[in-house]
Amino acid sequence: MRVTGFPLFTSREIPADAEIISHQLMLRAGLIARLGAGLYTWLPLGLRVLRNVERVVREEMDRIGSLEVLMPAVQPAELWQESGRWEQYGPELLRLKDRHAREFCFGPTHEEVITDLVRREIHSYRQLPVTYYQIQTKFRDEIRPRFGVMRAREFLMKDAYSFHLDQASLEATYRAMHAAYSRIFQRLNLDFRAVRADTGAIGGSVSEEFHVLADSGEDAIAVCRHCNYAANTELAQSRPAPPRQEPQRAAQEQPTPDIRTVAEQAQMLGLTPDRIVKSIVVLADGKPAVLFLAGDDELNLTKARSALDAGEVRLAEPEEAQAATGVPRGFIGPKGLPEELTVRVDERAAAIPNFSSGSNRQDWHWIDLNWGRDAALPERADLRTVRSGEGCPSCAGSLQIKRGIEVGHVFQLGAKYSESMDARVLNEHGDQVPMIMGCYGIGVSRVVAAAIEQNHDERGIIWPTPLAPFQVAIVSINAHRSEAVHNEAERLHEALGAAGLEPLWDDREARPGVKFADMELIGIPHRLVISDRGLSAGTVEYRGRSEPTSRHLPCERVVEFLRDLHQEV
Amino acid sequence: MRVTGFPLFTSREIPADAEIISHQLMLRAGLIARLGAGLYTWLPLGLRVLRNVERVVREEMDRIGSLEVLMPAVQPAELWQESGRWEQYGPELLRLKDRHAREFCFGPTHEEVITDLVRREIHSYRQLPVTYYQIQTKFRDEIRPRFGVMRAREFLMKDAYSFHLDQASLEATYRAMHAAYSRIFQRLNLDFRAVRADTGAIGGSVSEEFHVLADSGEDAIAVCRHCNYAANTELAQSRPAPPRQEPQRAAQEQPTPDIRTVAEQAQMLGLTPDRIVKSIVVLADGKPAVLFLAGDDELNLTKARSALDAGEVRLAEPEEAQAATGVPRGFIGPKGLPEELTVRVDERAAAIPNFSSGSNRQDWHWIDLNWGRDAALPERADLRTVRSGEGCPSCAGSLQIKRGIEVGHVFQLGAKYSESMDARVLNEHGDQVPMIMGCYGIGVSRVVAAAIEQNHDERGIIWPTPLAPFQVAIVSINAHRSEAVHNEAERLHEALGAAGLEPLWDDREARPGVKFADMELIGIPHRLVISDRGLSAGTVEYRGRSEPTSRHLPCERVVEFLRDLHQEV
């Protein structure tokens, strides 16, 4: 492709309303153009990247026997009423009425539509299992769309749905889908992790998220440096440290006037925070509970919700804490707390001998308390957020906290939709049983933005080769004045194209600096510079997008060189 | 692909609500499934066909340098207000509001969006011409969606838009697009015509429709048997017959009691209808006019609108006709008609010597009238609809009236959108001038239905090879009991796949008759039958989808035979 026939819409200016780097670079490189809030047109350059993602996703879906369909974007309200989601789904569901005032929505997802299709077409266990997928436009009416295509309202998604007679069959497909997702992100050369995810309100179901690692990611995830363990920090656990072995000392109460924080308490009593048991009052579905954690640990509300079996858990305000315990904030502790209060102790706090904590009276703290002897050991639970450097729960390695961008999700749905929508099959015994379902999504357009968050520098995008809109940039210097340069550029353009290397020849009459900057901004992995000076020595200058220096290749070796590089990938 | 891994959803029953054959066959063959009125899911088999159309369209768009983009389906109302179409467009425009009550529509077309994009990105004539296209989901809220995907509400369309400095550049791109459309429909093996179309309210613009010919088509088009001439019958002209040469006879008035129709008049006066000039009263924008046509011709209201330069033309009711002329219906004629009446004569009627017509008094008709001598010759115009067998206006051939399904449209838009939306560029002289635009559509999903209307028999679809979801059906007879049959089917399945021939192996444990019927219904062009009987003679049975008989091919020659057949196409 020649730039004169493939106009670039690059810009040096950083768009004012683009907060994150991928959004800035996608606008500056002319991959997308904004139509309205959360609505973007994919320009020719960006669409080539999007199609690269689509192609890899499609190939891997086909490879595991998933069957491609294309469902309508506009979905009848009746189906969502059947599943109960017409009421449950908030204002993110874009509802609309047709000319006859019948209600529809612009689908944010297709569980209802596919379940309706399958209950009409599939009636016997012999037709199971089956998996359908589509790559299709979705709409989610975000209250504050931002970050470009990362959190757009209209976006491209691969959604897949599997149907099974039983859980074992679901698990087999789930594993195949998991492996396919891993291959997809590997083939796209992205640094990613499959992360155990909180399944939220739907208890018991298994779910994993696929995250592209990037410093700007919205989610914190704990990943092992050695094995595949990765979990959202909402869920992640670490290997318990061996318990401290020491003789119990006699408990003593100490005056601690105006001491309210762990740091103040540690300093005044000459302790490290890991010898302190702090007491946190929360309201679990409105009911107070006291949680004991090590002084240097952070309470994890998702874990607290699970430990207290509550729908919602929040920190109590100081007055609420005092009302529940009768003790001013900063001085609550396990010894002497009213017995009717719900209490839990984190595993790590439960293992601290000779600990310090509040005395349940103002301006006093205990030191050298011991569980069992001085205060009953409450029910133990995992309440803390893991920290970087702690031991991996799956291997002997250690954890690191990384940030990730969710680009995929695999989910064992169970019978949620098939029961509410009465999607049943006859089993081997002639009984009507609800089908068991899985669902699996990839944010196709979001993958493009995530790849940029992970791969860029101050000059622009650095595409992983499989995503690049073009593989090789050919920059001809003064080709309009030098026939030799023009001819060699044309020859290489043709030869590289024939070799399947997708060249983009910047054949504009522009200054070399402008061309270099553009090719770097749009992130083409390989760059060839063709100039009279080089040609007089029979060479062409090559530089990889992230390499600091150039090298000179003999003209006749260029195609072979690039083909070899390409095949390594 | 094996049928056990690619479930077919075929049916013998003709769906009750499917009126046309393509709709019936698409449902019966399991290409699509209905979700709601005018909403269809493309099932895996149908999607393979749709993708074949998409691929050919994309290749031909790319070949002429058109650049692919992907614009949002959801479009802000503001842009439609700028162009004026928010008010003009009727209830077919699906309007919606987001959570902030801002107005949008689900785009039925993208002139506004692309014009907005281009006016932001393109500022100089040096960046022109440029053509963008997309293959994207549209919505048109038809009042009565029907005929399946032929007239669905949500559908897949290729829409392209070109931008130019001047008319000459538009015309060059228009010609290239026209040629690309012709290649597309040729490559899809469809019998089609490019048809001159009425441009409706937008005067002066050039527009052609591409029609797939099929008896069930909604549009009547006149096509030449010899040259490329084709026009919607609303517009079509024919070569005038040589004028009849005969001496003028004396006019005579004849009593014709109760004679009101051309047929009655012809019989009573012993004339053929082509010797009669009939008088038709119409109301053009409410004003009466009398049109004279040959007795055997049919008035064409589209042509009348153009001849009378009117927005709307309709036939007058008998009372309206009498009020306008003072003459009862059946007896109106050119001789003695009030002079203030607007009159036009069709070219053919103007060439009849010694004609008969009403006397402008009840129960009397003239014979042997002559224009000029007995009545002033009114302004001449083309008012008649051409008939099969008439001479082609472009060559010596003759016209045929065919029926067509519109699948494409190319249109020289001019400056309609660039003026209303202020999309200007600097020209060579530094002046801001509105860009000149063209737009070009192909109904991608409609092409699939049109192909079936043109290619089917009583047993099902007969796919043109380039559209077929699979090229070759392999039917194995009792493969679960015969290892030899199973092995040969497996070998051929693999070998044909390797040869790029897309085989579908019906490996179900079903009766041969069921498999044959299914493979014929879904229209696979080539069928191989593998049975113990055939294998004992070292052969496989072959039959083309529309061939009446089978032949026996030596097993080892099958792949070569099919590859040769395929290459012929």
The per-residue pLDDT for range B490-515, each reduced to its tens digit, is 999 999 999 999 999 999 999 999 99
Per-residue confidence at A203, pLDDT binned at 50, 70, 90?
A: very low
Is residue A199's pLDDT more than 90?
no
Is residue A200's pLDDT more than 90?
no
Across the interface, whether the CB atoms of B39 and A74 are under 8 A apart is answered yes
Across the interface, whether the CB atoms of B69 and A40 are under 8 A apart is answered no
**Single-letter code of the amino acid located at A395:** C
Q: B160-193: buried (b, 16+ CB within 10 Å) or exposed (e) per residue?
A: bbbbbbeeebbeebbebbbebbbebbebbbbbbb
CATH number where A533 lies = 3.40.50.800
Do A13 and A97 lie in a common domain? Answer: yes
pLDDT 10s digits, A228-272: 899 989 889 999 888 888 999 999 999 999 888 999 999 999 999
Do A492 and A433 lie in a common domain? Answer: no
Is residue A341's pLDDT more than 50?
yes
Q: Is B497 on the interface with A (CB under 8 A)?
A: no
Give, to the nearest 10 degrees, the angle between helix A44-63 and helix A167-187: 140
Q: Is residue B390 part of a domain?
A: no
**In chain A, whose CA is at the least distance from the CA of B43?**
A69
Q: Is A41 on the interface with B (CB under 8 A)?
A: yes
Across the interface, whether the CB atoms of B35 and A117 are under 8 A apart is answered yes
Distance linking the first and last C-alpha atoms of chain A? 22
pLDDT 10s digits, A458-511: 999 999 999 999 999 999 999 889 999 999 999 999 999 999 999 999 999 999
In chain A, pLDDT over 90 holds for what percent of residues? Answer: 90
> Facing residues of A402 across strands?
A221
Query: Hey, which residues 95-114 in chain A have their CB within 8 Å of chain B?
Result: 96-99, 104, 106, 113
Which tops the pLDDT comparison, A158 or B19?
A: A158
Q: What are the strands of the beta sheet with B74-76, ordered from one edge? A: B74-76, B103-106, B94-97
| Facing B143 at nearest CB: one of A67, A69, A99 | A99
Do B149 and B274 lie in a common domain? Answer: no
Q: What is the pLDDT of residue A234?
A: 87
Q: What is the pLDDT of residue B569?
A: 59
CA atoms within 13 Å, Cβ hemisphere of B105: 26
| Facing B137 at nearest CB: one of A44, A73, A132 | A73
CB A497 within 8 A of CB A559: no
Mean pLDDT of chain A: 94
Is residue B290's pLDDT more than 80?
yes
Do A80 and A213 lie in a common domain? Answer: yes
Place of tokens 């990730």: A404
A54–chain B nearest CA distance, Å: 14
Q: Is B50 on the interface with A (CB under 8 A)?
A: yes
Q: What is the pLDDT of residue B242?
A: 86
Across the interface, whether the CB atoms of B33 and A117 are under 8 A apart is answered yes
Per-residue confidence at A182, pLDDT binned at 50, 70, 90?
A: very high
Across the interface, whether the CB atoms of A7 and B74 are under 8 A apart is answered no
Q: Is A121 on the interface with B (CB under 8 A)?
A: yes
Q: Is B159 on the interface with A (CB under 8 A)?
A: no
**In chain B, whose CA is at the least distance from the CA of A77?**
B36
Do A233 and A347 lie in a common domain? Answer: no
Contacts of A130 in chain B (CB under 8 A): 7
In chain A, pLDDT over 70 holds for what percent of residues? Answer: 98
> Facing residues of A380 across strands?
A345
CATH number where A276 lies = 3.90.960.10
pLDDT 10s digits, A373-383: 999 999 999 99
DSSP character at residue B549: S
* Count of domains for chain B: 3
Q: What is the pLDDT of residue A521?
A: 98
Mutate to test the interface with A, among B27, B69, B508 (most CBs of A within 10 A): B69
| Facing B67 at nearest CB: one of A6, A97, A121 | A6
Do B82 and B112 lie in a common domain? Answer: yes
Q: What is the pLDDT of residue B201?
A: 44
Q: Is residue B549 part of a domain?
A: yes
Q: Is residue B5 part of a domain?
A: no
**Single-letter code of the amino acid located at A131:** T
In chain B, pLDDT over 90 holds for what percent of residues? Answer: 90
Do A546 and A479 lie in a common domain? Answer: yes
For B283, phi and psi rounded to 5 degrees? -115, 115
Do B261 and B120 lie in a common domain? Answer: no
Six-digit token string for B103: 């107005």
User: Residue B68: CB partners within 8 Å, gap ≥ 6?
Assistant: A44, A47, B58, B61, B62, B132, B133, B134, B135
Is residue B20's pLDDT more than 60?
yes
Mutate to test the interface with A, among B8, B79, B92, B96 (most CBs of A within 10 A): B96
Is residue A422's pLDDT more than 90?
yes
Q: Is residue A388 part of a domain?
A: no
| DSSP result, B320-387 | HHHHHHSS-TT---STT--TTSEEEEEHHHHT-SSEEEE-SSTTEEEEEE-BTTTB---EEE--BPP-
| Facing B130 at nearest CB: one of A7, A71, A97 | A7
Query: Hey, which residues 62-101 in chain A have their CB within 8 Å of chain B?
Result: 65, 67-76, 91-92, 94, 96-99
DSSP character at residue A393: S
Q: Is residue A245 part of a domain?
A: no
CATH number where A173 lies = 3.30.930.10
Do B370 and B439 lie in a common domain? Answer: no
Q: Is residue B210 part of a domain?
A: no
pLDDT 10s digits, B361-402: 999 999 999 999 999 999 999 999 999 999 999 999 999 999
Do A101 and A206 lie in a common domain? Answer: yes
Across the interface, whether the CB atoms of B96 and A106 are under 8 A apart is answered yes
Q: Which residue range forms the structural domain that includes residue B335?
A: 252-381
Q: CA-to-CA distance for B424 and B121, rounded, in angstroms? A: 11
B183–chain A nearest CA distance, Å: 22
Q: Is residue B300 part of a domain?
A: yes
Q: Is residue B223 part of a domain?
A: no
Helices (H) and strands (E) in chain B, counts: 16, 31
Is residue B202's pLDDT more than 70?
no
Do A8 and A138 lie in a common domain? Answer: yes
CB B444 within 8 A of CB B53: yes
Do A20 and A135 lie in a common domain? Answer: yes
**In chain A, whose CA is at the least distance from the CA of B71?**
A41
Across the interface, whether the CB atoms of B99 and A141 are under 8 A apart is answered yes
For B483, phi and psi rounded to 5 degrees? -65, -35
Six-digit token string for B435: 């860009």
**Single-letter code of the amino acid located at A368:** D
